Structures are given as C-alpha cells and as structure tokens.
Amino acid sequence: MTNKNRIKRFTPVQRLFHVLLMLSFMVLGASGLSRLYINTGWGKWLAGLFGGYESALLVHTYTGIFLITGFFVHILYLMAKINPKTIIGPDSLLPRGEDIKQFFSHIGWFLGFRESPRFDRWGYWEKFDYWAVFWGMVIIGITGLIMAYPLVATRYMPGWGLNVALWVHRIEAFLAMAHVFIIHFFIAHLRRHNFPMDRAMFEGSTDLEAVRSEKPAWIDRLKKQGDYENLLVRESQPQQKAIFFVFGYIMVAIGLFLIAGALVNWQRVIW
C-alpha cells in the first residue's frame, strides 16, 4: 500500500474518448483558423499544413464528422452505463444545487473570507467542462453540417440561414477555443494541486495527496463505502510519465499557438 500514491479516476474507455476529443479539437481548430485567416501569412502557413485552402476544408469537414460520430458513440456509452448512482448520486456529473453553493463558497475562499468547500468526486468546474462539450457539439455540429451540405440544408431553410449558421459556427468555435486553450489548460495543469501537469486523463489516476487536499469529501465517502483501498494504484513508470508530459505539453503548446495567432492577426481578418 505504501507505494500506491495515486487514486484511480478514469477508465481506459473514458481516457480514449478524451484523447480522441483532444486530437480532433486541435485539428478542427487549426484547419478552421487556417481558412478564416487565409489572407494573413499565419493563416496561409496553417493552411499549408493541410495541403492548402481547399484541402483544409476537407480535413475540417471530415474531422468534424468524425467528432460528431464520436459524440453519438459517447452518448451510447452513457446510456449503457446509466443507473441510479450515475444519475442522482455523488458520482453523477449532473449539476446539483450543491454545486452552486460550492461555487460561491469557492469564490469566498479565493477572496480569503471563507474556507474551501469540501468537494466530492466532481467539482463544479469539471461538470461545467463536461457539459460545455454537449451544448458546443450541438451548436457547432448542426451549423457545421448546414455549411458542409448547403444544398440539402436549403431544402428546409432559407438561403440566409447559411449566413446565420456561418456566424454562429464561428462565434461558438472561438468561445470553445478560448475556453479550452486558456481556462481549461490553466485549471487542468497550472493550479497548485495539478502543476506542472494533471496526468489523470492520460494515466487514469491522480495524485492521492492532491485529492485529499482538494476533494476530501470524496475520500471520506470512499472510506465509508469500503472502496478506498480498491482505487489506490501505483505511480506510472518514468518512461510512461515522460510520454504523458511530452504529449500533453505539445497539445498545450499547439493550443496556445492557435489562440495567440488568432489574437495577433485578428484585425487582418476580412469578415
């Protein structure tokens, strides 16, 4: 037990979903920005990575279809896992009234006049991240399909609907990239409990001391249920950790490069 200094959080299937989401999101972000910024040198360079302006569109379209397919596979996965514990229990990712209370208590802790909330398995920020993908997929997915298949779409909607779909798609995409590349990266890797990187989504487990500090309610509940010992796991091998760090920070670097390039070249875009 002394060597088991991490606690299991995610299954291999859940980690696979995250990796596929991460990779497809990066490709979609880069290919989409390459077309929007094509009149800039930065945009032309990005488009060149995909073989040019038209090729970037093909990559963007088919990667989007892949992501939408993965989204529906994930829904099927959730349906197969549904039980009362996953819907209404403390292990549920569904928002609860307690999350609102903990949010304001957390703000008070940030400002120094309240104690930190005793979080359970999922913090309010993790639930927000999870469900943000759902509404983002609906908005970006529908508008993306409308633009990918305009002749089919205009059988059921007026032509100006394509312009609306384009702008909604762009706005939601920018919001998604800003959230992931700035807020999510910071929360996942730069907070004191996670720095220099939270390997949970790569390794499947997280540091036990960090969980005891940030999510004591989860630890207490696991001990009462008798599940605590069963979830303790050992640290990964150094070679594995090195791979996780390299891969993770490559993704972080790409994300920051994309958001920085978009901001620097913002005024050069011809809308």
Scan for tokens 């960090």, then name that residue.
210
Interval 238-248: pLDDT, tens: 899 899 999 99
Residue 55 belongs to a domain? yes
Number of residues that this document lists for the chain: 271
Q: Give me the mean pLDDT over the 125-142 stretch.
A: 93
Instruction: At 51, list the tokens.
Output: 């073989």
Buried b (16+ CB within 10 A) or exposed e, 125-146: bebbbeebbeebbebbbebbbb
Q: What local confidence, expressed as pLDDT, does residue 18 receive?
A: 94
pTM: 0.90
Q: How confident is the model at residue 1 (pLDDT cuts 50, 70, 90)?
A: very low
Q: Measured between alpha carbons, how far is 70 from 235 in angstroms, rounded to an integer?
A: 30
Q: Are 229 and 1 in contact (CB under 8 A)?
A: yes
Report if residue 194 sits inside a domain: yes
pLDDT for 196-231, tens place per residue? 788 888 999 999 998 999 999 999 999 999 999 999
- Looking at the domain assignment, is residue 109 inside a domain? yes
In this prediction, residue 196 carries a pLDDT of 77
Q: What is the DSSP letter of 235?
A: P
CA 144, 148, 153, 158 torsion: positive or negative? positive
What domain range includes position 72? 6-268
Asked, for residue 1, whether it belongs to a domain, the answer is no
Tell me what pLDDT residue 90 has.
86
- Could you give the angle at the alpha carbon of 99 between the alpha carbons of 94 and 105, nearest 5°? 170
Q: Which residues is 123 bridged to in the sheet?
A: none
CA separation, residue 122 to residues 18, 90, 92, 98, 233 (Å): 16, 8, 8, 11, 19
Total number of domains in the chain: 1
202: domain CATH number is: 1.20.950.20
Share of the chain above pLDDT 90, in %: 73
